Amino acid sequence: MQPGARIGVVSPSYWLESERWDRAAKTFASRGYELVPGDMSQQQDYRFAGAPEQRAAEIMGMFSDPSIDAIICARGGYGANRVAPLLDYDLIRSHPKIFMGFSDITGLLTSLSQRTGLVTFHGPMLSTFGEDALGYNLDTLEAVLSGKADVRIASAPACRARVLRPGKATGALWGGNLSLVNERLGTRDQIDTRGRILLLEEVGEKIHVIDRMLQHLKSCGCLDGIAGLIIGELLEINEGDTPFGKSTDEIVLETCAGTDFPIISNFPCGHGDCQATLPVGHEIELDARSDDPFLCLPTSPVK
**Catalytic (active site) residue 271:** yes
Element (H, E) at 94: helix 89-94
For residue 286, which of 129, 153, 136 has the smallest C-alpha distance? Answer: 153
Alpha-carbon gap, residue 117 to 186, rounded angstroms: 20
Q: How far is CA 199 from CA 45, 73, 84, 219, in A?
A: 32, 19, 21, 18
Radius of gyration of the chain (CA): 18
**Among the options 179, 205, 271, 285, which is catalytic?**
271
Pairing of strands 283-288, 167-177: antiparallel
Q: CB of 175 within 8 A of CB of 213?
A: no
Q: CB of 230 within 8 A of CB of 199?
A: yes
Q: N- to C-terminal Cα distance for the chain?
A: 10
**Catalytic (active site) residue 202:** no
**Among the options 58, 201, 233, 285, which is catalytic?**
201
Element (H, E) at 64: helix 52-64
**Among the options 11, 13, 41, 103, which is catalytic?**
103
How long is the chain? 303
Strand ranges (E), 52-93: 70-73
**Catalytic (active site) residue 103:** yes
- At a CB cut-off of 8 Å and minimum separation 6, what does 4 contact? 32, 33, 34
Residue 151 burial class via C-beta count within 10 angstroms: exposed 0-12, middle 13-18, buried 19 and up: buried
Task: Give the residue numbers marked as catalytic.
Answer: 103, 201, 271
